A = this chain, B = another copy of it.
Amino acid sequence: MTQILNSSPVKKKITKELKSECKKLIENGIQPYLKVILVGNNPASLVYTTNKKKYCEKIGAKCDIVSLSENIDLNLFLEIIYEINHDDQVHGCIIQLPLPKHLSHLDVGQLVAENKDVDGFHPNNLYSVLSNQTSQNHFISCTPKGIITLLQENFIEISGKRVVIVGRSMIVGKPLFCLLTNHDATVTLCHSKTENLRELTKQCDIIVSAVGIPNFIDETYLSPKKNQVIIDVGMNVDTAGLLCGDVDFDKVKDLVHSITPVPGGVGPMTIVSLAQNLLQAAKNKLSL
């Protein structure tokens, strides 16, 4: 019987912990405070930012969405971030992607101050993941962190396992590669130039797909042993207009050991990780 890696029970457990931590911080005079910068009216971005705000408020943190015009002037945009970086009341800041064309040349990872970069995109935060020197002063990128949490909470062994990640982005593929390697997995990072991808995915214990193509992973990518773990990071819209992942869930679900659903798998774990990072940022402030 396939294990469906639904994030709900994990999320419920961690939410309880975060509420209690948040309460303690507030008792110490610090209410964790996140600013989410949203440029333009991308419908998906609007949903994502609203979900993040709702979850922060649920655990007792404060969250403002800073909505900016699609055509905002570059200098004004930078000034707003500068002010947030220097605002003692704000503990975390994230910039919702994608940015409009005239801002897309910016290296988002370098905009938010390292100690408020709860998305984990700052060079120093990524360096800590690459060098396996993670500490409470560093933030781990939310989606990779959420995947590790989901595996651990479901008692899925990582050490010694073979993992194939498909997709080499700086948001998922590359930092997840580093994290899993730090956890003693043997990881292969695949991408659009990989030849014979199926040969690799058939051999591994865990497949992570982060390519953004509906039904990309189907039964032809799997081992006949039915013992694999499938992590679906895709957030796509199918032809019927519904949210779907990279994995053809119906074709795959009876042929594997466990699989994350979309929605309800990796997505909510990303938001949980963000809230964990925010509380960590607030705690760091307290210990200063």
Contact = CB atoms under 8 A, between A and B. Distances in A.
Interface in A179-194: 181, 184, 186-191, 193-194
B131 A127 contact: no
A160 B127 contact: no
A191 B130 CA distance: 15
Q: How large is the interface on A (under 10, 10 to 19, 20 to 34, 35 or more residues)?
A: 20 to 34
A98 interface: no
B195 A186 contact: yes
A170 interface: yes
A126 interface: yes
A200 B200 CA distance: 10
Contact of A126 (B130, B160, B170, B200): B130
Number of copies: 2
Given A124-B123, A126-B127, A191-B181, A186 B160 contact: no
B187 A188 contact: yes
Nearest to A188: B188
A130 B133 contact: no
A184 B191 contact: yes
A189 B178 CA distance: 10
B190 A186 contact: yes
Contacts of A184: 191, 193
A159 interface: yes
Nearest to A183: B193
B193 A159 contact: yes
A74 to B, nearest CB: 19
A27 interface: no
A11 interface: no
Interface in A84-101: none
A203 B204 CA distance: 14
A67 to B, nearest CB: 28
Given A107-B133, A130-B170, 6 more contacts: A126-B131, A127-B130, A160-B193, A186-B191, A186-B193, A187-B189
